Amino acid sequence: MTLKFWLLQVPGWSLFLLIAYFARPSEASVPDALQFAAVAAVSVGGMLASLGLRWLYRALQADGYGELRWLGVLLVASVLAALGVDLIFHATLSLLAGLSPGLAALYDAQPMISRAALLAPAFVAWSLLYLAISRQTRLAEAARHQNDLRLALKEAQLQRLLGHISPHFTFNTLNNIRALILKDPELAREQITRFASMLRYPFAAGEEALVPLQEEMAVVRDYLSLVALQLGQRLRYREQVDPLALPLPVPRFCVLLLVENAIKHGLGPSSSGGELCVDAATQGGALRIDVRNSGRLATADGSGTGLDNLRQRLQLSFGTRAGLRLDEQDGCVLAQVWIGSVA
C-alpha cells in the first residue's frame, strides 16, 4: 500500500501544482518565479495535509462507518484541511512579507482563504480516490485471505482422507509378513524391506496428497510382492504403463487402493484366483488408469468407503476434471480413474 500510495501521491500533487499555477489570477506586480514558488509551497502543504487525511481515514475505518457517514466525514475533513493549509500559508507569508517587495506584493495579492477554494475540491477528489483504492485493497486482501483459508481447508480434508487409508494398508501388510516369518525368514527380511518402503511412502515428499504415477506404481509392486506370498499362483499380474504417464501427478494410494480392492473382493475370495491388469495411458496431457481383475462387483453400485474416499480426493485435487468409475464387463471388474479430459 505504501509504494502504491506514493506512486499516486507525487504525480497527483504535481498535477495540482500545474493546474493551480496556470489557473492563478494575473498578478503583474509579482514575479512569475515567486508566484510559482508560492503555488509549489501550497502544493507541498496540500501533500502534507493529505497524509493527515490518510491517517484519519485509516483510523476511522476500524469503526465501520456507513457510506453516508463517510461522505460527511470526507467533506468536513477536506474543507478543514483546505482551510488549515491556507491559514498556515497566509501566516507564513505575513511573516516573510517584510523581506522583499515581491513577497509583500504577493501577500497583498493573495488574501486569507483565497487558496482554500482550490484546495477543498482537490482534497475531496483525493479523498474519494484514496478511499476507493483503499476499499478495493481491503476487498482484495479479504479475498486472498478467504482463498488461503479455502486452500488450508482443502489440504486438511485431503490429509484427513489420506489418513483413513494408510492404516488399512499397513495392517494388511503386517499380517502377510507375520505369516511369512515362520516359513522363510530370508524371504521375510526381503519383504520387510518392501514393507519399510511402503511405510516411508505416506511420508515422502512432505506428505503431499499428489505423487508422480511412477512412485505410486513402485509401491503397488511392493504391495503385490507381499500379497503374492499369500495368493501364490492364484495371482497373475500384468501391467502396461505409458512412459509419458510416469511423471504425471495422481492422488497418493490411488492405484494401490484399486489394486487392493481388486484382490480383496475379486481375486482373494476365488479359489482359482485370476488375472490383475494395470494399464495407464495418456492422451493430450490427460491420464487414464485402468485396473481390471477377474470376478464380479462386490456391491451393486460399486460404492464403498475406500472408493468414496478416493472419489473425494480426486474431486478435491482436480475438481470436475477427474473421476472414478467402476464397471463389470465380460466377467471382469474394471476400475477406471481419469484425470483430465479422458473418460
Domain boundaries along the sequence of the chain: 2-146, 183-339
CATH superfamily entry for domain 183-339: Histidine kinase-like ATPase, C-terminal domain (3.30.565.10)
Looking at residue 159, its pLDDT comes to 56
- Closest Cα partner for 325 from 276, 216, 317, 314? 314
DSSP-derived 3-state class of residue 62: coil
Please, what is the Cα angle at 112 between 71 and 82, to 5 degrees? 20
pLDDT one-digit tens code per residue, 129-176: 888 888 888 888 878 777 665 655 555 555 555 554 456 657 766 777
Indicate the DSSP class of residue 30: S
More confident residue, 276 or 208: 276
Look up residue 48 and give its amino acid: L
Q: What is the spatial distance between Cα 332 and Cα 320, in angstroms, rounded to a whole number?
A: 27
- Give the phi and the psi of residue 40 in degrees, each rounded to 5: -65, -40
Query: Taking the model in full, what pTM does it have?
Result: 0.52
Model confidence at 300, pLDDT cuts 50, 70, 90, reads: very low
Greatest Cα pair distance, the chain, in angstroms, is 116
DSSP string, 144-181: HHHHHHHHHHHHHHHHHHHHHHHHHHHHHHHHHHHHHH
Grid cell at residue 329: 464387463
Looking at residue 279, its pLDDT comes to 94
**Of 132-136, 248-252, 267-271, highest mean pLDDT:** 248-252
Looking at residue 3, its pLDDT comes to 72
| Position 117 pLDDT exceeds 60 | yes
Please give the sequence-ordered ranges of beta strands (E in DSSP) within the chain, or none if there are none.
210-212, 235-241, 249-251, 274-283, 286-294, 322-329, 332-339
- Give the phi and the psi of residue 323 in degrees, each rounded to 5: -170, 175
Q: Which residues contact 41 (CB under 8 A, 6 or more apart)?
A: 89, 92
Q: What is the spatial distance between Cα 262 and Cα 240, in angstroms, rounded to a whole number?
A: 17
Give Cα separations from 4 to 1, 9, 116, 220, 300 (angstroms): 5, 8, 27, 54, 61
Q: Mean pLDDT of all residues in the chain?
A: 79
- Closest Cα partner for 256 from 317, 342, 170? 170
Looking at residue 238, its pLDDT comes to 92
| Position 301 pLDDT exceeds 50 | no
Looking at residue 278, its pLDDT comes to 94
Looking at residue 269, its pLDDT comes to 67
Q: What is the spatial distance between Cα 219 and Cα 221, in angstroms, rounded to a whole number?
A: 5
| Position 302 pLDDT exceeds 60 | no
pLDDT one-digit tens code per residue, 55-94: 888 888 756 666 778 888 889 999 999 899 989 988 888 8
Q: What is the spatial distance between Cα 15 and Cα 54, in angstroms, rounded to a whole number?
A: 19
